[in-house]
Chain A
């Protein structure tokens, strides 16, 4: 493949500071004398707080309660959860108040001595029909009623997916300072302006009095999209009440027990078939466990529901999705954002349909793969070029899938090989019209007098390399050396609100703003002159405008696509599965940097494989059981196999240098390719992920 200048790998902008360990993460700040906060949390899933009894607090130690917050609400989308629980607690681990002390140890010890008198109320712990519903969406395209009336066969299945923990290696943490009427919050976070919005609300402050600064961030994966608003408000309350800088750093156990995770789900797929085994319509019901508070769940569900038919064009679709509230830890953003759940369910269902009608599991699916011009699940139109046939072809060839899948059928020995094949996509950018109506992103490019150029955006580099890819766009557009372009960690007193670092949008959307600013800068370039260039979001053309009230139209301006094949060996005695090799191909437009983009693919793929196989997390009686890395297993270097991955260049007209969204895509296909390989090896149907050793045992 020809590699353009923008694709050619460079040394990452933050390489030296990260490799030499000079970069400061929030816990590394030793610039002042900090106080340390520890949360006092609910031990019950549902209850009425009757009283809180604090121990004698030594000099220099404090309690911080809801009385210290002018408006006791954390705004994620709406202020639907308290900063500190009021009269009622709704999940185990809900924060009731803080103890603040000169050392972490003292804070921990004093917090353990706080006595809570809570009258327990009946909790609702399981995801089921009949939970309280926080959000509900539905859509219908084509004549579903008629299709089901005319069907000669109806095939129905229910799939379940579990929690997934983001497991960033740096736990959550923030510090706050309240000085001269300005609240400064620094921390490990993805979206500085989300934290700002929340703190402005809670403390009744305006933009000029809330300053958010991102520190080096040790991984996010969505886990630092919404949750930092919660910690941010809590630690700010401490600083506000005490008037001294306060640090709040979670330890792993606390982080795993109380922070947001991927929504567990239950999806039922009902498909109407004609006499030849063709799909006439699907009726899909998706339930996501929102946990105790809605938070971001509505938008996670929107994406999950839109993706319910994954890469396939189905003649008629009816879909209903709900966010069910339970007395468990609130769930939120995690790479893939609702899509991994339904991508898994749809891919499994399509393969099972093929078996049901007696057709080949791959050929059956291939008949329905979306083509340019097809309608989308929500009645929009795939208006951009789709190169799925090429991706499929490449993966089939290099994996030798067709031969192997036949060879691996009906094995009998102890060790059984399997090969799986999965197709997946990801809608690029925010769902619907949010970019235009809500985010209205603004980006700045600043030319310094010394002719160095600074990218000023609110987007954070959490390892995905956005600083580098943005600087490359600027350097290439201006035709200046990359060394003369730089991008610092965002500080809301300096950078404009270019929107959150989510939804695989930073490069595609913000990159384009920066590119436009650079084009103008180039036209007006004058050595030694200082000047700021500002760009505002302009909507890319879609064919059918999105209407959230009808849940209809183009939900995304374009999609990224991918294909995987995976070979595994199942030991039928121990039920352990070994990964042999994974082959893949992606269309992410034109990658902004080959190495960075490949790193995103490999990292996302690894998380996806683990989501489908080993990452098992459950709440027992409302309490998260796996609260450490020895009980919640994320992959180690010895768990993974070799990956043979490639990009097919398919430039997107509206992305900078042809780029589309990339970060989330690779995760979506990880689980189904794993379960498909297990199905091939064992000849059994997988209905649930993670497909752990215990699950494989059941299948045998």
Chain B
């Protein structure tokens, strides 16, 4: 039995310690906002926050997160910071098909938490672990810069 915190709630997984965190999140706890794009740590669609750090959940063995705090999009979407990102992405046109979006949102959070006022270049580097095939990124970068401005003080 592996215990951890998922979006603020204490949970217990019945999966084996070797099972992937993404499978526990999606299948055991039904939180399907975490997406699987490549299964090998390359695309960031499965990104979640583990104790505030952005991590690709397809590469994480359940056994390694005992006692840690996991935040997925389902938890993050309840926050005020999310609301700021929501508005900024909407205005900038940062969402097309939406499959990369949950991971991109959490990557944005991880970036702004460390660097509340990033430069354009820093945003590009900060999001480089999350692939988006639809947008060509510039509108996402705009969204992050806008959010940093409008959410001043939140991060």
CB distance from A502 to the nearest CB of B (A): 16
Q: Which residue of B lies closest to A628 (CB)?
A: B40
Residues in A neighbouring B43, C-beta threshold 8 A: 169, 252, 629
Q: Which of B3-11, B133-141, B147-155 contacts A (4 or more CB under 8 A)?
A: B133-141
Q: How many residues of A contact B (CB 8 A)?
A: 57
Known: A23-B98, A30-B30, A629-B40. A167 touches B133 (CB 8 A): yes
CB distance from B87 to the nearest CB of A (A): 10
A169 near B33: Cβ-Cβ < 8 Å: no
Cα-based distance from A170 to B98 in the complex (angstroms): 10
Q: Which residue of B lies closest to A598 (CB)?
A: B93
A171 near B95: Cβ-Cβ < 8 Å: no
- Residues 39-82 of B at the A interface (beta carbon under 8 Å): 39-40, 42-43, 45, 73-74, 77
Known: A595-B93, A643-B136. A638 touches B128 (CB 8 A): yes
A218 near B135: Cβ-Cβ < 8 Å: no
A219 near B133: Cβ-Cβ < 8 Å: yes
Q: Is B36 an interface residue (CB 8 A)?
A: yes
Known: A595-B93, A629-B38, A629-B43. A20 touches B77 (CB 8 A): yes
A11's contact among B26, B39, B90, B128, by CB below 8 Å, is which? B90
- Residues 124-144 of B at the A interface (beta carbon under 8 Å): 124-125, 127-141
B138's contact among A21, A219, A221, A643, by CB below 8 Å, is which? A643
CB distance from A248 to the nearest CB of B (A): 14
Q: Is A364 an interface residue (CB 8 A)?
A: no
Cα-based distance from A166 to B131 in the complex (angstroms): 13
A464 near B128: Cβ-Cβ < 8 Å: no
B136's contact among A15, A464, A606, by CB below 8 Å, is which? A606
Residues in B neighbouring A30, C-beta threshold 8 A: 27, 30, 32
Q: How many residues of B contact A (CB 8 A)?
A: 51
B97 near A642: Cβ-Cβ < 8 Å: no
CB distance from B9 to the nearest CB of A (A): 18
Residues in B neighbouring A168, C-beta threshold 8 A: 97, 99, 133
CB distance from A202 to the nearest CB of B (A): 28
Q: Which residue of B lies closest to A28 (CB)?
A: B32
A25 near B99: Cβ-Cβ < 8 Å: yes
Q: Is B86 an interface residue (CB 8 A)?
A: yes
Cα-based distance from A582 to B61 in the complex (angstroms): 42
Q: Is A12 an interface residue (CB 8 A)?
A: yes
Known: A169-B37, A464-B96, A606-B137. A21 touches B102 (CB 8 A): yes
Cα-based distance from A638 to B111 in the complex (angstroms): 14
Cα-based distance from A253 to B39 in the complex (angstroms): 9
Binary contact track A596-640/B, C-beta < 8 Å → 1, others 0: 101100111111000000000000000000001110001111101
Binary contact track A85-102/B, C-beta < 8 Å → 1, others 0: 000000000000000000
Q: Is A496 an interface residue (CB 8 A)?
A: no
Known: A18-B101, A25-B99, A638-B128. A599 touches B135 (CB 8 A): yes
A12's contact among B27, B73, B90, B133, by CB below 8 Å, is which? B90
A636 near B131: Cβ-Cβ < 8 Å: yes
Q: Which residue of B lies closest to A596 (CB)?
A: B93
Residues in B neighbouring A646, C-beta threshold 8 A: none
B89 near A170: Cβ-Cβ < 8 Å: no
Cα-based distance from A512 to B39 in the complex (angstroms): 42
Q: Is B35 an interface residue (CB 8 A)?
A: yes
Q: Which residue of B lies closest to A104 (CB)?
A: B23
B95 near A634: Cβ-Cβ < 8 Å: no
Residues in A neighbouring B97, C-beta threshold 8 A: 18, 168-170, 216-220, 462-463
Residues in B neighbouring A374, C-beta threshold 8 A: none
Q: Is B112 an interface residue (CB 8 A)?
A: no
- Residues 91-118 of B at the A interface (beta carbon under 8 Å): 91-93, 95-102, 105
Q: Is A45 an interface residue (CB 8 A)?
A: no
A599 near B93: Cβ-Cβ < 8 Å: yes
Binary contact track A235-268/B, C-beta < 8 Å → 1, others 0: 0000000000000000111000000000000000
Cα-based distance from A654 to B3 in the complex (angstroms): 62
Q: Which residue of B lies closest to A636 (CB)?
A: B128
Cα-based distance from A17 to B89 in the complex (angstroms): 13
How many interface contacts (CB-CB < 8 Å) are there between A and B?
Answer: 163
Q: Is B123 an interface residue (CB 8 A)?
A: yes
Residues in A neighbouring B33, C-beta threshold 8 A: 20-22
Q: Is A661 an interface residue (CB 8 A)?
A: no
- Which of A167, A221, A603 has the most chain B CB atoms inside 10 A of its CB? A603
A170 near B95: Cβ-Cβ < 8 Å: no
B99 near A218: Cβ-Cβ < 8 Å: yes
Residues in B neighbouring A602, C-beta threshold 8 A: 135-139
Q: Is A24 an interface residue (CB 8 A)?
A: yes
Q: Is A683 an interface residue (CB 8 A)?
A: no
Cα-based distance from A365 to B138 in the complex (angstroms): 31
B42 near A629: Cβ-Cβ < 8 Å: yes
B35's contact among A9, A170, A217, A606, by CB below 8 Å, is which? A170
CB distance from B104 to the nearest CB of A (A): 9
Cα-based distance from A221 to B96 in the complex (angstroms): 12
Known: A637-B140, A638-B125, A640-B138. A603 touches B96 (CB 8 A): yes
B137 near A170: Cβ-Cβ < 8 Å: no
A19 near B125: Cβ-Cβ < 8 Å: no
Q: Which residue of A lies closest to B78 (CB)?
A: A20
Q: Is A157 an interface residue (CB 8 A)?
A: no
A635 near B137: Cβ-Cβ < 8 Å: yes
CB distance from B107 to the nearest CB of A (A): 9
Q: Which residue of A lies closest to B89 (CB)?
A: A19
Known: A12-B95, A637-B123. A607 touches B133 (CB 8 A): yes
Cα-based distance from A127 to B35 in the complex (angstroms): 37
B101 near A637: Cβ-Cβ < 8 Å: no
Residues in A neighbouring B74, C-beta threshold 8 A: 21
Residues in B neighbouring A595, C-beta threshold 8 A: 92-93, 139
- Which of A25, A27, A219 has the most chain B CB atoms inside 10 A of its CB? A219
CB distance from B56 to the nearest CB of A (A): 12
Known: A21-B101, A169-B45. A637 touches B36 (CB 8 A): no
CB distance from A662 to the nearest CB of B (A): 13
Residues in A neighbouring B27, C-beta threshold 8 A: 30
Cα-based distance from A20 to B92 in the complex (angstroms): 16
- Which of B35, B96, B100 has the most chain A CB atoms inside 10 A of its CB? B96
Residues in B neighbouring A604, C-beta threshold 8 A: 136
Q: Is A14 an interface residue (CB 8 A)?
A: yes
B39 near A252: Cβ-Cβ < 8 Å: yes
A-B contact pairs, 9 of them (CB 8 A): A9-B93, A21-B32, A30-B30, A170-B99, A462-B97, A602-B135, A636-B129, A637-B124, A640-B137
Beyond the given A599-B96, A637-B127, please list 10 additional residue pairs across the A-B interface where CB-CB is below 8 A.
A15-B90, A20-B86, A22-B33, A27-B36, A168-B97, A218-B37, A251-B39, A464-B96, A630-B42, A638-B128
The 10 closest A-B pairs by CB, nearest first: A218-B99, A463-B97, A18-B98, A21-B33, A606-B136, A463-B96, A629-B42, A602-B136, A28-B32, A595-B93
